[in-house]
Amino acid sequence: MGDGPSFEEVSSIAQNILGRVKHRPKIGIVCGSGLGGLADDVQDAEILPYSEIPTFPVSTVPGHMGKLVFGILEGKTVVLMRGRLHCYEGYPMWKTTIPIRVMKALGVTTIFLTNAAGGINPDFNVGDMMIIRDHIDLPGLTGECVLRGANDERFGPRFLATVDTYDPELRATCKKVFQDLGLSQLMREGTYVMIGGPTFETVAESRLLKAFGGDSVGMSTVAEAIVARHMGMRVFGLSLITDMCCLSYDTANHTTHEEVLAIGQKRAEDLKAIVMRLLKDTTVE
């Protein structure tokens, strides 16, 4: 096989993990930059640092601890990635999604992807949360789709339809969760654009992404969503808007990762409440 992990490698990582943890999760959660606090509420937790799982890639970004956390959250057996992988860390795109393939091999059928993102839609505010309705795979559009390379049908089909990537039922449930929790004023829905990073956008790039129809922008999530759908998983995505992209040279400010993490901290409790309630209201087979 060219690009991508082999089916055997993914199975072997999953077998290693299954031999070391008792939990058998059906739901996986990927914690975005600064959003790992969710893991603190996991009951009966079993924790595996990525560095202790043979051939598993490790996280190198501040705000991403690099641990798999297994346990019970809101009565559901879950596995959380406390720290994700990004291609700007030097990984080929396919490698950043090995954990998603491993989750499927562990029995996960539904995945919640969270991220910290810049707001492109001028109606958004810092601290809003955007339910991802659709995405723009900018790397994919330029030939770097995560599914590039030989395809193993045991994972999924060669050609993948992506019109329904983000599960409509989970999106509807999440909208109700915002209402029930009295957080509707923070709720947004829209299109997430993935860029490679690690540079934040120039003013001209932000304008381009806005013209493309993007509402938020970040450096992750899309490849994970595609790989999850490739394997038939249900996908839900949520962006925390941690900064607003500059659309004018007059108001140009300098986004920093520290700022991103600080907003993550500030909104941690609301985000946690939403994800926990969504978990509670989600039925899994």
Ligand X SMILES: O=P(O)(O)O[C@@H]1C[C@H](O)[C@@H](CO)O1
In the bound state with ligand X, the residue whose beta carbon lies nearer, of 32 and 71, is 32
* Binding site residues, ligand GUN, CB under 6 A: 116-118, 195, 197, 200-201, 217-219, 242-243, 245, 255, 260
Q: DSSP secondary-structure letter at 284?
A: -
**Contact pattern for ligand X over residues 18 through 57, marking x by CB under 6 A:** --------------xx------------------------
- Considering beta carbons, is residue 33 or 97 the nearer one to ligand X? 33
Cα angle for residues 131, 81, 228 (degrees, 5° grid): 60
Nearer to ligand GUN, 131 or 195 (CB): 195
Q: Which residue is nearest to ligand GUN (CB)?
A: 118
250-269 residues in contact with ligand X (CB under 6 A) are 257, 260
Closest approach, Cβ 82 to ligand GUN, in A, equals 18
Question: Where do we find the tokens 């929790």?
Answer: 181
| Partners of residue 234 on adjacent β-strands | 110
Minimal CB distance residue for ligand X? 32
Token look-up 């690690």 returns: 198
Site for ligand X in 214-253 (CB under 6 A): 218-220
Q: Counting contacts by CB under 6 A, is residue 277 touching ligand X? A: no
Cα–Cα nearest to 88, from 248, 196, 211, 205 = 196
Reference 82, options 15, 32, 118, 128; nearest CA is: 32
Min separation Cβ 137 and ligand GUN, Å:
14
User: With contact defined as beta carbons under 8 Å apart, do 61 and 32 qualify?
Assistant: no
- Rounded (10°) CA dihedral 251, 114, 145, 18: 160
| Of residues 112-141, those binding ligand X (CB under 6 A) | 115-116
14's CB contacts (< 8 A; 6+ apart) are: 102, 105, 106
Burial of 7 (0-12, 13-18, 19+ CB in 10 A): middle
Cβ-count burial 122-143 (b if 16+ within 10 Å, e if not): eebeeebbbbbbbbbbbbbeee
- Give the nearest distance from C-beta 151 to ligand GUN in angstroms: 29
- Build a one-symbol-per-residue string for 55-74: x at contacts with ligand X by CB under 6 A, - elsewhere: ------x-------------
**97 contributes a contact to ligand X by CB under 6 A:** no
Token pair in block for residue 246: 């500059």
From the list ligand X, ligand GUN, none, partner contacted by residue 217 (C-beta under 5 to 8 A by kind): ligand GUN
Measured from the Cβ of residue 172, the count of other Cβ atoms closer than 10 Å reads: 11
> Which of the listed partners (ligand GUN, ligand X, none) does 220 bind, with a CB threshold of 5 to 8 Å by partner kind?
ligand X
The binding site for ligand X (CB under 6 A) comprises 32-33, 61, 84, 86, 115-116, 197, 218-220, 257, 260
